[in-house]
């Protein structure tokens, strides 16, 4: 049992849209990521996702609405719902999702990360 220092883990990387695994429990991954710019529209047929903003802010776009998330706020995107995160400035996010979750869901492109680094 080791404690995790989130600030220390975030200092280990500087790229965007490339989640890192920092913990596991009950078949779920706890991930850290930095967002900046627009991601791709996608959905996850079988997995819900939790996005918790550690610093900064971003907008989660849905086809029928947008939700702005600020520091210390989180949003759960239910399985099957198409979404796209957009961040004007860099934002640090904690993600909680099943280990099977592919970052780009049903959309495979240059942003897809099939194997995630553990830090």
Q: Which two tokens stand for residue 71?
A: 């520091």
Q: In order of start, what are the domains of the chain with their CATH numbers?
A: 6-98 (2.60.120.10)
Locus of tokens 């680094």? 117
Mark residue 32 as left, alpha or beta (left: phi above 0; alpha: psi -120 to 50; beta: remaining): beta
**Dist. CA 58–CA 38, nearest whole Å:** 10
Give Cα separations from 109 to 40, 42, 45, 106, 113 (angstroms). 9, 11, 17, 10, 9
Mean pLDDT by 10 residues, the chain (119 residues): 94 97 96 97 95 98 98 97 98 95 86 89
């Amino acid at each position: 049992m080791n404690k995790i220092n989130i600030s220390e883990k975030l200092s280990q990387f500087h790229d965007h849209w490339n989640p890192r695994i920092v913990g596991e429990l009950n078949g779920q991954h706890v991930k850290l990521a930095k967002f900046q710019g627009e991601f791709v529209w996608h959905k996850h047929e079988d997995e819900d996702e939790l996005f918790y903003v550690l610093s900064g802010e971003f907008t989660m776009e849905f086809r029928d609405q947008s939700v702005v998330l600020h520091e210390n706020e989180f949003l759960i995107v239910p399985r099957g719902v198409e979404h796209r995160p957009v961040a004007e400035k860099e934002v640090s996010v904690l993600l909680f999702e099943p280990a099977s979750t592919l970052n780009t869901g049903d959309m495979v492109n240059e942003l897809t990360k099939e194997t995630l680094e553990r830090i």
